[in-house]
Amino acid sequence: MKAGILTIHDIYNYGSILQSFASLYAFRKKNIDPVIIDYKNTVKNANNYLNLNNFKDFILKKTNSCLKDLLPGRPHSKYVSRYAATKADWYCLSEKSYSSRVELHEKHPAYDIFVVGSDQVWHPRTVSNDPSFFLDFVPDMTFKASYASSFGMTSIPSHMVEYYRKYLSRLDLISVREKSGSNIIKKLINRDVDVVLDPTLLLNMDEWMQFSEIIDSESPYILCYGNSSGDSFMEKFALHIQKFTGWRILRLNGKFYNYFDRKMEYVLDAGPKEWLGYMANASLILGQSFHATAFAVNFKRPFYSLLRGEVNHDARQKEFLSLVGLQQRSIVCNDSFPSFSASDLSVDWNGSHSILEEEREKSYNFIRRLSS
């Protein structure tokens, strides 16, 4: 059975790349032949290009990239080439690329089934400009499903309720990544839907390590990843822990000037495979990202999940931590630093991984239903 997967796969984001590949891997395990539909629409409102702040952000981002390549080793170019090499190695893309919603609708591919997800494909900011992520281009008689689609928020704006109701009703089989997502769908179309694992959690650590770059480190390190808030709370927390451990601090990604930081080491050139290696080898992970939290648990790495104190942003991490019984591993940015001791590096992985294995089997059972 041939499956066309529509997801956000063509951006510089570790989580997007990893979940896209994991979807292919998991579907193949269940004897489904998957292809990622090479849809390159970035789903941005045209008005964004006329917005002064967005234009300034664009210029600053480009300037930062250029300045990084003035540093030894040209880290930005290496970062870009590593992404390209990973996609070439991991992805199975449709023969045709689609650069616009119109093109996707007029010349859409033919598969036995179509699946949308994972990632925040149903975030209002995404779908308000492109209902393609509800598979609206797929003919009525063709099977349409979602796997682990995320809304990225806990409620839908009132002016979009009918919009969501219309497009969700066309899907034959639905699963979401968060319980909050299933609650949204229940309210909108009165359907009970499956809550499944993010695709990255369908692979265990041994499976992921087949595709990672091994990071050799003779000394333990604290790994920081994700957007920091609260006046660089993540970095300050890492320095706080360093006082007790003496471990060096590695920060994935950053600006060109971070290269000159003397308090911690910034890794500016890591591709997706290197990201996996740094995660797997860390002595402690501080992450303000759903996927940093998910991989820390999957790889059995001691961690703290840093929350912004925002309901919509924090729901993804909080729901996952609640699922595996590790709620105590979260901290809200700008809260007081907790006391730190060796006991904080001891996590009951047996309990959390027993739950993870159960949820993994449930999620694979859902994938089996796609071909039944």
Quickly state the pLDDT bin for 52 (edges 50, 70, 90). low
| 3 state DSSP class of 9 | coil
In sequence order, which residues have a C-beta less than 8 Å from that of residue 53 and are 6 or more positions away? none
Number of H helices and E strands in the chain, helices first, is: 13, 13
224 and 129 within one domain = no
Span 120-149, average pLDDT? 91
The number of distinct structural domains making up the chain is 2
The answer to whether residue 335 sits within a structural domain is: yes
Same-domain check for residues 221 and 74? no
At 242 the three-state DSSP class reads helix
CB count in 10 Å sphere of residue 28: 12
Average pLDDT over residues 264-282: 96
- The 10s digit of each residue's pLDDT in 152-181 is 888 999 999 999 999 999 999 999 999 999
pLDDT over 90, % of the chain: 72
The CATH number assigned to the domain holding 246 equals 3.40.50.2000
Q: What is the CA radius of gyration of the chain?
A: 21
SS3 168: helix
- The predicted structure's pLDDT at residue 100: 87
Same domain, 57 and 179: yes
Query: What tokens appear for 268 in the block?
Result: 């500016």
**Same domain for 13 and 108:** yes
What pLDDT, on the 0 to 100 scale, is given for residue 112? 96
CA distance 157 to 125: 11
Distance (Å, rounded) from C-alpha 331 to C-alpha 306? 5
Instruction: Please check whether residue 209 lies inside any domain of the structure.
Output: no
Is residue 270 situated within a structural domain? yes
Q: Do 189 and 67 share a domain, yes or no? A: yes
> Residue 237 and residue 230: Cα distance in Å, rounded?
11
In angstroms, the CA 169 to CA 172 distance is: 8
Q: Are residues 170 and 304 in the same domain?
A: no
The residue segments making up the domain with residue 255 are: 214-353
Residues 159 and 70 in one domain: yes
Question: Whose structure tokens read 């089997």?
Answer: 361
Owner of token pair 């510089």: 12
Query: Which residue stretches of the chain are H helix?
Result: 14-29, 52-68, 75-90, 101-106, 124-127, 161-168, 179-189, 205-209, 233-245, 272-281, 290-298, 311-323, 349-369
In a domain, 27, yes or no: yes
Rounded Cα distance between 324 and 326, Å, is 6
Give the pLDDT of residue 158. 92
Q: Identify whether residues 168 and 78 lie together within a single domain.
A: yes
**pLDDT mean over 6-32:** 95
CA 199 – CA 24 distance, rounded (Å): 9
Among 323, 333, 331, residue whose Cα is nearest residue 355: 323
Tokens standing for 228?
């920091």
For the domain that residue 175 is a member of, what is the CATH number? 3.40.50
pTM of the predicted protein model: 0.92
d(CA 365, CA 228): 37
Share of the chain above pLDDT 70, in %: 95
- Tallying the residues shown for the chain, one arrives at 372
Query: Is the pLDDT score of 48 beyond 80?
Result: no
